[in-house]
Amino acid sequence: MKARALIDGASYGPDALKAMGQAFDEAWPSIAGNFGHDPQEIESARLRLATALLSVANEDSRDVEALKTGALQAMALSYRERPTPTPAASSFVARETSDPRDGADARRVRPTLSPDGGNQS
């Protein structure tokens, strides 16, 4: 898997890499259920966890629990900092409409409020 390869290929001593690998292996099961069943989404989340782990590690890292906790906190913070669409903004969708006043072949795209709050399939 790409996430473990990212950690195993990092430029740290063998003891630090061993601790980092163990921290990753212990951290992943605690959050894995949040990422569904899509293999691409799972791999993306594992890469984010590996990146978070590398962001808190250093050459002297040996404490598996501290690495695990730090990586999970760093990952959680990265999710908090992501912008989320506001319900009002996500409720508007573009719909193609025709207006007889515009001529038979004219079409227009108009933003309209979706009746289901923007949840379009």
Residue 47 is assigned to a structural domain of this protein: yes
In angstroms, the CA 64 to CA 110 distance is 55
Please count the structural domains in the chain: 1
Residue 114 is assigned to a structural domain of this protein: no
Distances in Å between the Cα of 93 and the Cα atoms of 98, 99, 120 are 16, 18, 8
Residue 40 is assigned to a structural domain of this protein: yes
Question: pTM of the full predicted structure?
Answer: 0.64
Residue tagged 């989404």 (tokens): 41
In angstroms, the CA 121 to CA 119 distance is 7
Residue 109 is assigned to a structural domain of this protein: no
Residue 32 is assigned to a structural domain of this protein: yes
What domain range is 65 assigned to?
2-80
Asked whether the beta carbons of 91 and 111 are under 8 A apart, the reply is no
Per-residue pLDDT tens digits for 63-105? 999 999 999 999 999 888 766 655 554 444 444 455 555 555 5
Given this model, what pLDDT does residue 9 score? 86
